[in-house]
A and B are shown apart, each in its own frame.
Chain A
């Protein structure tokens, strides 16, 4: 029997646990998360109206209920336990903490400039998220990845278009009461190089109250272009959406500390796109809870996820903010095979696992605690919602330890 610790219970962490336990069902795999609740990006990054994508959680539930992995939520690395302590206690430690920080622009910021990650975490009830910002008027979304398209779609939807989602009453109210004059999505590259999945663009064709214009010439057979052509000219209602490509951001214009425009450079020269809010969706970076840069720099074989003896990295934490859940699954399963191989070659005495850490169990949330939270969130869901999330740590901890009376 060997002991493995995985830091982060998002898709990469859970797939790594799944892979290890498929190969070695008798090993003990402990999955830690700084939040009291599991699943990371699936819960707080996958859009509230993409419940089908969240179905992947059913696999992860089995990792804990059938494959024997343990969940320990509300444990912060560097605060409740150090990386060195974990490495002393476990035969293998996997960092799968993701990348939660918003990559920022290289110029000054101002009121009205909002990072996509901060915004979506606020919309999806992340307990550490800031309040939802006050935005309206002409809104520019900078970025051409799937996150940018998620934000565009959410801002363009009306109330009934969120039926079946897990969007909270607060976020629904915020999204549907914005006084938005226009939504412009700006890409730095040309349309044919945009990173979003074509299927995400086609999905916009179902929006019920929008008029969409793509302001670039669109010849070419790329699937992305085909998808853009399929929505260009769509006119189902009043919310104006414009796609604009090939615009390099150069700086922002402000008045009284508030953004008034985004300066961009195009092949034809410079221009300023006036706006009242700028949402940047240009990638993610480490939120500095672990010194990721140093670990990656000194890694033994970063492409394989091998950082140092008994220490590994998975998912976005290893590869950077690229790749879908499916691609990261492939990575995680390959990493799992490598970990099993490495650890079995290491004939040193087996390490003792979690017991030697002396962690305080008082505030740790186990999988059973999560099941209580989950039960509460799904049974107390508001009308037309599949779930209404608890959005504070205190309430999560309360529900995790509340044992329901069975009549």
Chain B
């Protein structure tokens, strides 16, 4: 399957996680591109690919810096009908703004007509799980769901 992993990061943790997802999906035979959201324009998104969006939360429930230009561009209401995507959020349950960043990205994409494949999954940095142990099954589930369609 042709997959693009998009990440929004502030401290680099989301980027590192995406490197792991990319390696695992490539091992499973997928064609995987990885891009920082800061380098992506919503109108560039290709409905032939499946998008895996990994995004953290920063400050007081805001998007991380690298996702902000993308969010700005989403205000121009691009038509993303037919686009399939999954969202994985990184956050810290110590804060009440837990995972608001990934939620914002999800809402924006749905608002533009894109289709969310399986529910958003989140990781809690203050919990005991490693992010990749939660994210890899999530990525596999998203792709398996698309495959089953």
Contact = CB atoms under 8 A, between A and B. Distances in A.
B59 A199 contact: yes
A58 B16 contact: yes
Interface stretch (B43-51, B77-85, B89-97, B111-119): B89-97
Interface string B89-130: 000111111000000000000000000000000001110000
A202 B10 CA distance: 20
B145 interface: no
Given A197-B59, A198-B60, A199-B59, A55 B95 contact: no
A50 B58 contact: no
B74 to A, nearest CB: 22
Contacts of B65: 326, 330
Interface centre among A50, A199, A325 (most CB of B within 10 A): A199
Interface in A90-148: none
B53 to A, nearest CB: 20
B137 interface: no
Contacts of A49: 94
Contacts of A205: 96
Given A202-B96, A203-B95, A164 B13 contact: no
Most buried by A among B59, B61, B126: B126
Interface in B22-81: 58-61, 64-65
Contact of A62 (B16, B64, B124): B16
Nearest to A333: B12
A77 to B, nearest CB: 27
A15 interface: yes
Given A52-B126, A199-B60, A202-B60, A325 B11 contact: yes
Given A50-B94, A199-B95, A202-B95, A326 B60 contact: no
Contact of B126 (A15, A164, A329): A164
A397 interface: no
A310 B92 CA distance: 39
Does more than half of chain B's interface fall in helix, strand or loop, or is it mixed? Answer: loop
Contacts of B10: 326, 329
A149 B60 CA distance: 15
A309 interface: no
Contacts of A58: 13, 16
Nearest to B97: A199
A164 B58 CA distance: 22
A329 B16 CA distance: 14
Nearest to B10: A326
A178 interface: no
A167 B145 CA distance: 44
Interface string A200-211: 001101100000
Interface range on chain B (Cβ under 8 Å from partner): 20 to 34
B16 A52 contact: no
A203 B60 CA distance: 11
Contact of B16 (A51, A59, A197, A198): A59
Contacts of A197: 59-60
Contacts of A55: 13, 125
Contacts of A206: 96
Residue from B10, B93, B94 having most chain A Cβ neighbours under 10 A? B94
Interface string A43-55: 0000001111101
A56 interface: yes
B13 to A, nearest CB: 6
Given A198-B60, A202-B96, A59 B12 contact: yes
A13 to B, nearest CB: 14
A354 to B, nearest CB: 27
Given A62-B16, A199-B97, A203-B95, A56 B11 contact: yes
Given A202-B60, A202-B96, A203-B94, A56 B13 contact: yes
Contacts of B16: 58-59, 62
Nearest to A200: B95
Contacts of A51: 125-126
A56 B9 CA distance: 12
A278 interface: no
Interface of B: 10-13, 16, 58-61, 64-65, 92-97, 124-126
Interface of A: 15, 18, 49-53, 55-56, 58-59, 62, 164, 197-199, 202-203, 205-206, 223, 227, 325-326, 329-330
22 contacts: A50-B94, A52-B125, A55-B125, A56-B11, A56-B12, A59-B12, A59-B16, A62-B16, A197-B59, A198-B59, A199-B59, A199-B97, A202-B95, A202-B96, A202-B97, A203-B95, A203-B96, A206-B96, A227-B60, A326-B11, A326-B64, A326-B65
Q: 7 closest Cβ contacts across the A-B interface? A: A52-B125, A52-B92, A52-B126, A326-B10, A198-B60, A199-B60, A55-B125
Given A59-B12, A325-B11, 5 more contacts: A52-B125, A58-B16, A59-B13, A198-B60, A329-B11
